[in-house]
Amino acid sequence: MKSLYTLLVALAAGATAVTTPIDLKLSSVGGSQVKVTITNTNQDTGYNILKVNTVLEDFHTKRLTITNGGTEVDFTGITGATYIADELDEESFFPLLPGQTREVVIDVAEGYWVHKTDTSRHDIIATGWFHYAALNSTQIVKNDGFPYTSNTLSIDIDQAEAKIVFDKYTAQKLAKRVDISSTCEGSEITKLKQALMDCKEIAHNAAEDVREGTSSYYSKYFFRLDWQEVKGRLEAISSHCGSLGVFDAVIYCRDPYTVSRCTTRGVAAYSRDKDDTIVLCPAYFQLPGIRRACNGYTSGSMAGAMIHELTHMSRVYTPICSDYAYGSARSARLCRDYATGNADSYALYAMDLFLGCLAL
């Protein structure tokens, strides 16, 4: 079996095969802090890059992959967020002028369990996909974007100091859980129950459609040899959506964390795998239960968003999915190493099958 580090190197090689104007470099700035230097190598065109679910994210989202001896380091924080593209405002974007270089700093001890690893030596890499709008715009350019892959940064981290940072982070950012009944009220409960019922049916139908990777809907997003993992994940999602009351993950209709991800305009839901929580933001309850049009986005329905978030939960299925791409056009173009690990691919597959959106 390949180590995670070997896989990440392979992913990096695959990503860089696609032309991208964005150059990303990681460097150490002392302690557990890592500087991300991002450069727009295009001297003629600027980009307003979407920060959500990328290395540029402001919130404590899983922005980096950190390994210790080839094993991925645990993470406490947001593992993925579902957003409504048309509702995003300028705070969710990171403008890069032609030829411009900007920097952000990430303290990896805030959320990553680098203080608990076997050794102090850690390998850090950033991989993903940047969606973008034109400068001074928040309208994401559909069916386009750039892959990003940084260098691999190897650093020694003082684990005693990292534990102090981690403990301070968890004390400030995390709050006690409350029962779902006390966070969801009235019509929210009704809508949530229906969304879970729809999720159960739609995910089940998709699992039945897999058929050893021969389904045309399946092959739109996945590769034939991976059919067992895809089927298993969809079956697990269907099972969890049908087990209201004995749910492994706690669902909130009010954000219980002191730093609220729901304050970002356009964010409908997000998940925190290490805390076994899914948070449904006010925007989630404005969505239709099931989208009736082939618009290419899972964020257009409560059921699709629920399927997406459940792929981020290890209590549902392991390994959990990441957000490599959003939308039908981009997700359908992922290579095999990314496709089975992309959250949106599962929700899109299930919703496309349900609506008959094969050609989109």
Our answer to whether residue 309 is catalytic in this structure is yes
313 vs 243: CA distance, rounded Å:
15
Pick left, alpha or beta for residue 69 (phi over 0 → left; psi -120 to 50 → alpha; otherwise beta): left
* 204 in a known ligand binding site: no
279 vs 360: CA distance, rounded Å:
30
192 vs 178: CA distance, rounded Å:
17
- Annotate 248-296 with three-state secondary structure: CCEEECCCCCCCCHHHCCCEEEEEEHHHCEEEECHHHHHCCCCCCCCCC
* 115 in a known ligand binding site: no
DSSP type of residue 77? S
Q: Which residues of 73-87 are buried (b: 16+ CB within 10 A; e: fewer)?
A: bebbbbbbbbbbbeb
For residues 305, 310, 313 and 318, what is the CA-based torsion angle, rounded to 10 degrees?
-130
Spatial contact of 163 and 115, defined as CB atoms under 8 Å apart: yes
* 323 in a known ligand binding site: yes
Q: How many Cα neighbours within 13 Å face the side chain of 43? A: 0
User: Binding site for Zn(2+), residues?
Assistant: 308, 312, 323
User: Binding site, residues?
Assistant: 308, 312, 323
Annotated active-site positions, please? 309
